[in-house]
């Protein structure tokens, strides 16, 4: 992280150092070993799911760094930068995938830029093949209202699937306390849809623990979080929630949809 209290010149100097370190990371990443077969990765996931059933965040991430190294990607929605911050302690300059759907809040894009400028991460923007205008032309305007399943598939699920194929493991910020659909989230599992190992190092964290970590470590948090948005997705499909309401109640409110399909 950029240290608080730095002058503008000191910030620029630190960003120049980051740019050099990121370039060195990218050059070394190009030399990495070939991706293992799906069968090998499946066996690794099956053994690890049992081994880490009662583990903790640091133990799991230490294993991830040793087992997968630069073949690891982190998915980050830019609701906050806690997950990449925790991961980067074990894997500096880890690839951090941001699903650039074209429908994000300005605050989310600002958070993405602030994270890239200040943290030892490699942000990878994952873009859908169609721009919003091209999608409107092909499928009609406001597809998210008429068929949000298809819209999420086109703008999130398929682009993420395609971008994950060069990795052996991906890390998500899914937590058990986010709602009934996530209550049994394991630390490690096999992701059959994307054909790689899935790691959920924050599975046992609560929302309050996440916020406490962000405060203690001065980690960037999307300003919408303190404005009534504990869960942040695309702007047309996310509303504020009332105090005490299910944190994910603001996602696709009024529709028979609770997940974008990335984790189901
Ligand atoms: Fe489309 Fe809404 Fe899904 Fe974003 S969250 S991809 S706008 S349906």
CB atoms < 10 A from the CB of 85, how many?
A: 21
64 lines ligand 1 (CB under 6 A): no
Distance from the CA of 3 to the center of ligand 1, in angstroms?
Answer: 35
Distance CA 197, CA 191 (A): 6
Residue 81 confidence (pLDDT):
95
Check residue 141 and give left, alpha or beta (phi > 0: left; psi -120 to 50: alpha). beta
Residue having the nearest C-alpha atom to atom 4 of ligand 1: 234
| CA 84 – CA 94 distance, rounded (Å) | 8
Q: Among 129, 233, 248, which is best to mutate for testing ligand 1, by the most ligand atoms less than 8 A from CB?
A: 233
Q: What pLDDT shows up at residue 26?
A: 84
Best of 108, 109, 138, 144 to mutate for ligand 1, by most ligand atoms within 8 A of CB?
Answer: 144
Q: What is the pLDDT of residue 168?
A: 97
pLDDT for position 202: 97
For ligand 1, is residue 144 a contact (CB within 6 Å)? yes
164 lines ligand 1 (CB under 6 A): no
Q: What is the side-by-side order of every strand in the sheet holding 196-199?
A: 122-126, 95-99, 72-75, 169-171, 196-199, 188-191
List, run by run, the mean pLDDT of 10-residue segments along the chain (264 residues): 74 87 83 88 97 94 96 95 96 96 97 94 96 97 94 96 96 89 92 96 94 95 93 93 82 77 71
CATH architecture of 36-237: 3-Layer(aba) Sandwich (3.40)
Global pTM reads: 0.91
**Confidence (pLDDT) at 3:** 62
Domain range annotation of the chain: 36-237
Return the active site residues: 260
Closest among 218, 222, 258, 225 to 241, alpha carbons compared: 225
Does ligand 1 lie within 6 Å of residue 128's CB atom? Answer: no
Residue 224 Cβ inside 6 Å of ligand 1? The answer reads no
């Amino acid at each position: 992280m950029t240290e608080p209290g730095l002058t503008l010149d000191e910030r620029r100097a630190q960003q120049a150092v980051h740019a050099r370190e990121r370039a060195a990371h990218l050059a070394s990443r190009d030399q990495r070993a070939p991706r293992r077969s799906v069968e090998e990765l499946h066996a690794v996931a099956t053994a690890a799911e049992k081994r880490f059933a009662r583990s903790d965040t640091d133990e799991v991430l230490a294993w991830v760094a040793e087992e997968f190294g630069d073949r690891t990607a982190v998915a980050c929605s830019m609701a906050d930068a806690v997950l990449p911050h925790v991961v980067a302690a074990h894997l500096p300059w880890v690839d951090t995938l941001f699903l650039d759907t074209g429908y994000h809040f300005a605050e989310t894009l600002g958070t993405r830029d602030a994270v890239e400028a200040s943290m030892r991460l490699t942000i990878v923007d994952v873009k859908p093949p169609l721009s919003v205008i091209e999608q409107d032309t092909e499928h009609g305007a406001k597809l998210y209202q008429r068929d949000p399943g298809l819209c999420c598939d086109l703008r999130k699920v398929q682009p993420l699937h395609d971008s994950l194929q060069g990795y052996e493991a991906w890390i998500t910020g899914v937590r058990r306390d986010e709602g009934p659909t996530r209550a049994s989230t394991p630390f490690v599992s096999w992701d059959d849809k994307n054909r790689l190992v899935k790691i959920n190092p924050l599975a046992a964290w609560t929302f309050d623990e996440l916020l406490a970590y962000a405060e203690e470590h001065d980690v960037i948090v999307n300003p919408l979080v303190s404005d009534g948005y504990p869960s942040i997705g695309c702007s047309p499909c996310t509303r504020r929630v009332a105090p005490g309401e299910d944190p994910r109640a603001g996602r696709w409110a009024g529709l028979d949809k609770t997940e974008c399909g990335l984790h189901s």
